[in-house]
Structure 1
């Protein structure tokens, strides 16, 4: 009965240790899965925000363009647009609630490169497409291009939703598609394209008929595209008054979180290996004889007669040098000569004892210790 009870009792801790690691592994898997799900969840943002994966963002279009080889610059301010723009650049100005300031629109109109205006309001259209005027607003669904514009004919039927229509003055040579919802003209070597709706570029609208093709054909017409959909008011100083935390990229927070988690797990793992605290009275007094005996046994167990002999010789020389009037840097010949003059001993014998080769046996080591003691005694008494 006692033997069986002991056997059962001894297996319980072993089973618990095994089960503990299994539970810890399952907890780690669940934590990683939860973190991955949270990281890949839709990210809210403003309308037409290129970083937003919400239905009203444009992250999907930006990703498709980059996969196609187009260099996409996500401009957060008009200064970013001015720095990145060039002659071979397409500037996409997507109308948001923050694209209205006259000074901002004036600076945007002076930026080089082609333009693509998405659902512009009156002030934006007058500054960036002055040859066009709005005519009407209608609901466009399943509408054919009705023009010879390559970008539109390749896309075919699209669903633009509620869209404005435009017409140009008599002096502009305009190509009009989708009953005026998409208009293009060229002036001063610059191509200006205006679309009266933003539904076809949103994440929620790309899957409808030819919307994705139209968005990629229009936004990918140049090897370099600047997407400008301002998410804050630049004219009232909101950008300059942004807190310091807004300037930190989101990836930095995840790096810090992962680093903190790794440090916490490492501290927990190392803390378990230390064990419980042990009370000990300090300081601990160790006798000199115990230290000498312990070191001697260590040398003997490793047959380190050379190290032991050198320790004995070095200690003896250091004790004799002050009595001889020499410093610790004195060369061997000077030390041998000083000891010989002081004690009247043979120089060759002193050189062999103080600086000779290591002893070959334990008996030779004992004899060396005795000779060093004798020499040190004579120096002290002379």
Structure 2
């Protein structure tokens, strides 16, 4: 028996070690092409339907999305906007002319038989702009006016206490209020001047001065898209805003300021010595960096003689305030701490004025600017309950700014 093995013969019809014929790949490609064509013919209809549905969904989302805008913006379809009321007024034949700056309101101003509706008044703190508004003809409807606007456009009306916004009865003989009946009003209760009509617990005041009718509203919630369909809100809004054939609806979206005469470039506004001062400051900073850029030693841990928990410190200080009845200092401490947290979240500088802080908070939260000012910069509370209420209002305001 030898050590060699003999390979078995290959079966008949089997090719071993022989390359494929050149036409094999072409046959495979030819057989795959009809398969792809069949799949395309089968699925092109559903794919076309899905593409059409996607386009329709995109167009519908773009067309039906709410139009953004601030509180009582005549074009905003969001809950705090007033597009629904503007549409009702126009259907009733009232010519509503939206304006977002004082210059636009001046251009759109009609004759004495018109009404100037002022919303978002916290953006109109400039004295020159208020004097321009006071010179416009026609009646006035002031919605939640701030102090400067109230003094200029509604002389003689004083802001009273803050009240809850809730359904109220007219409680007066004003035709616009009695026909509407109960409505969601409140906000600010005004002290009316002599001869004025006060309705809804002082939140709606109407009087005549210099031949024009002036109406002041402590809250404009009943005019918004969100609450227009409640109680008699729509009727009251129509009766107050639709009293004249033309309405100039002024609702600024940004703080307004009077323009100075002439224009100047940025280089012209910078004093000549600023560049040299900046260069000297840069050199000084570089020298200080080189001086301090030495190797520091290891950090030395030092035990504190007494460890006092922060909660105990806060409680002790609170007891001292309560013992001395120092509600003014306690309120000042609460407001200072709240402002230290609010100002950076609003993107304001540390030296921002109270008016700027109030305007930013009102814009972020949609709250009434005068109410925000009373919470952040108002008078100290008269009793402990008022101090607790102030702390609760400050906490609510901070949450609203954070969540906005």
Specify if TM > 0.5: yes
Structure-2 residue corresponding to 1:154:
179
Structure-2 residue corresponding to 1:94:
119
- The answer to whether the 8 Å contact 1:95/1:117 transfers is no
Q: Are residues 1:233 and 2:255 paired?
A: yes
1:188 to 210, 229, 240: 210
**Structure 1: 5+ residue runs without aligned partners?**
1-5, 242-382
CA distance in structure 1 between the aligned counterparts of 2:188 and 2:128, rounded to whole angstroms: 25
How far the C-alpha of 1:45 sits from its partner, in A, is 2.1
Structure-2 residue corresponding to 1:219:
241
**Structure 2: 5+ residue runs without aligned partners?**
1-29, 264-404
Structure-1 residue corresponding to 2:280:
none
Number of equivalenced pairs? 232
For 1:97-136, what aligned pairs fall within 5 Å after superposition? 97-136=122-161
CA distance in structure 1 between the aligned counterparts of 2:230 and 2:44, rounded to whole angstroms: 52
TM-score, scaled to structure 2: 0.53
Q: Which has the larger radius of gyration?
A: 1
CA distance in structure 2 between the aligned counterparts of 1:131 and 1:237, rounded to whole angstroms: 29
1:38 to 45, 54, 62: 62
How far the C-alpha of 1:43 sits from its partner, in A, is 2.9
How far the C-alpha of 1:44 sits from its partner, in A, is 2.7
> Per-residue displacement from partner, 1:239-275 (whole Å, max 9, x unpaired)?
x99xxxxxxxxxxxxxxxxxxxxxxxxxxxxxxxxxx
Structure-2 residue corresponding to 1:29:
53
2:80 to 51, 56, 60: 56
CA distance in structure 1 between the aligned counterparts of 2:55 and 2:45, rounded to whole angstroms: 15
CA distance in structure 2 between the aligned counterparts of 1:95 and 1:33, rounded to whole angstroms: 35
1:163 alignment partner, SS class: strand
CA distance in structure 2 between the aligned counterparts of 1:78 and 1:18, rounded to whole angstroms: 63
Root-mean-square deviation (CA), in Å?
2.7
How far the C-alpha of 1:8 sits from its partner, in A, is 12
For 1:1-382, what aligned pairs fall within 5 Å after superposition? 13=37, 16-17=40-41, 19-85=43-109, 86-160=111-185, 162-170=186-194, 173-235=195-257
How far the C-alpha of 1:17 sits from its partner, in A, is 3.2
TM-score, scaled to structure 1: 0.56
CA distance in structure 1 between the aligned counterparts of 2:94 and 2:246, rounded to whole angstroms: 6
CA distance in structure 2 between the aligned counterparts of 1:150 and 1:236, rounded to whole angstroms: 38
How far the C-alpha of 1:235 sits from its partner, in A, is 0.6
CA distance in structure 2 between the aligned counterparts of 1:26 and 1:217, rounded to whole angstroms: 50
> Per-residue displacement from partner, 1:46-91 (whole Å, max 9, x unpaired)?
2222222222221221122122221111102112211222212111
2:240 alignment partner, SS class: helix
CA distance in structure 2 between the aligned counterparts of 1:157 and 1:14, rounded to whole angstroms: 70
CA distance in structure 1 between the aligned counterparts of 2:187 and 2:64, rounded to whole angstroms: 32
- The answer to whether the 8 Å contact 2:192/2:198 transfers is no
- The answer to whether the 8 Å contact 1:48/1:96 transfers is no
- The answer to whether the 8 Å contact 1:138/1:163 transfers is yes
> Per-residue displacement from partner, 1:271-324 (whole Å, max 9, x unpaired)?
xxxxxxxxxxxxxxxxxxxxxxxxxxxxxxxxxxxxxxxxxxxxxxxxxxxxxx
1:130 alignment partner, SS class: coil
- The answer to whether the 8 Å contact 1:94/1:120 transfers is yes
